[in-house]
Structure 1
């Protein structure tokens, strides 16, 4: 359990730092937006390159991936149906809400939990790569079209991912991994330094908005926050477990890893995307806050039952 608690403690400290910096006036909302844009356009793409260059891409094609992807599809699909038919959200808000419900914190929480709780950091690779190379590009492509002031052509829509820094960074890192090329030190080291800024920047920016924005529970529909939280921490891990055990026959640590990683909270990346598109900032902030708090007992309970 130490890895679980250490991962959550690290996140809490950096969020608290952001709140402190906002409280004493060092960073205001304008600074928060700048920090989020820096994370989105510069630091995160660099981080993706350095993470993916050393990742074994064969880990993507596994039964773990099928179970994880199935849980994402079911969870996001349920939210999309409810958002369009019941909540009457527009396309941009629907995509943002679906990310809140299905995009797990596989980076700064998934990696330490996989290493210390599951015993092997490789368990998080299918989830991490599926989100970076499939879920995130698709979501950003739809978001770009949804917020565009004029109707975009098909060519523009299909080519937009190649002009999105996060996707370009993912593709470049994957290409380096597949070809086995070692980046020269003058290239790798600056990327590593800049990439190391990504997670702290996301968390500090989130803390600033948590302090200066509307209080949690105010400014966003409480019912929708509760719905997304249930989808994220109940529906997604249960779906992943059911598919992994009964459809794919996974057992032991493989089954445990699928369930635990699917029960991780909503990733801070979602708040960065919300800031970038200026849609659903309060919703994503509150969902990240609540799922992060509640995922601690959820992950501990799953580990106790399946370990």
Structure 2
């Protein structure tokens, strides 16, 4: 269980640094915007090249992928229905809300949790690749379409993800993994150095927003916040367990891996996307906070019952 606490405490400390810097007026909301843009346009794409370039893409063809993917579809569909007919959210806000309810922190938290709780960091690869290569490009395409404010053709929708730096970085990393190519040190080392800036930039920016932005639940709907948090913390791992155990017949350690990866909290980069596109920023910030705290007992319970 030490890995769970280590991962969460590490994230909390870095977020706390951002909040402290904001409290001491060393940085302001302008710095938060700068860090978020730096993470979005530069650091995160570099991180994706390095991370996916080293991943085993064949791991996506597994029961883990089927169970995790089904859970994502169910959670997105439920939130989308509520956003459309209950809260009447626009495309941009609805997309961010759907990500809040389904996009897990498979990178900077999922990897250490998979290493220490599950004993193998590769077990998070199916979820990581599913998000980077399917869910994230689709969501960013919708956010781009909303930002343009006018109808787009099918070809524009299909081609837009390939203009996004995160998608390009992900595809470059996937190409390296599929071909088995290794970047020369003169290229890989600078990319790794820049990529290492992605996670701390996201977390510090998030801490600044926590301190200087509206209070928890303010400037937004408490009902919507409760819904995204509940879907993420409870429904997503429950659906993943059902598909894995009942439909696919997975059991033991493999089932634990499916449930734990689905129970991870909402990823910090959703806040970066929300900030970048100016949609659902408060909802993203608050959902990340609640699910990061709430995921600890959920993952501990899953490990105790299925481990």
TM-score using structure 2 length? 0.99
Q: Post-superposition shift, 1:45? A: 0.3
Alpha-carbon distance in 1 for matches of 2:114, 2:163 = 32
Q: Post-superposition shift, 1:236? A: 0.3
List gaps (5 residues or longer) in structure 1: none
1:155 aligns to what?
155
Aligned runs of 1:245-256 on 2, under 5 Å? Answer: 245-256=245-256
2:24 aligns to what?
24
Alpha-carbon distance in 2 for matches of 1:214, 1:71 = 31
Aligned runs of 1:114-125 on 2, under 5 Å? Answer: 114-125=114-125
2:193 aligns to what?
193
Tell me, what secondary structure is at the counterpart of 2:101?
helix
Residue 15 (str. 1) matches residue 11 (str. 2): no
Q: Post-superposition shift, 1:158? A: 1.6
Q: Post-superposition shift, 1:147? A: 1.9
Q: CA RMSD in A?
A: 0.8
Alpha-carbon distance in 2 for matches of 1:150, 1:65 = 35
Aligned runs of 1:56-67 on 2, under 5 Å? Answer: 56-67=56-67
Alpha-carbon distance in 2 for matches of 1:73, 1:155 = 24
Alpha-carbon distance in 2 for matches of 1:263, 1:12 = 18
1:75 aligns to what?
75
Q: Post-superposition shift, 1:295? A: 0.7
1:219 aligns to what?
219
Q: Post-superposition shift, 1:150? A: 2.9
Q: Which moved more, 1:144-153 or 1:98-107?
A: 144-153
List gaps (5 residues or longer) in structure 2: none
1:111 aligns to what?
111
1:142 aligns to what?
142
Deviations 1:157-203 (A, max 9, x none): 22111110000000000001111111010100000000000000000
TM-score using structure 1 length? 0.99
Alpha-carbon distance in 2 for matches of 1:239, 1:23 = 40
Residue 295 (str. 1) matches residue 295 (str. 2): yes
Tell me, what secondary structure is at the counterpart of 2:25?
coil
1:96 aligns to what?
96
Alpha-carbon distance in 2 for matches of 1:94, 1:217 = 17
Q: Post-superposition shift, 1:20? A: 0.8
Alpha-carbon distance in 1 for matches of 2:6, 2:133 = 28
Count of paired positions? 307
Residue 259 (str. 1) matches residue 242 (str. 2): no
1:171 aligns to what?
171
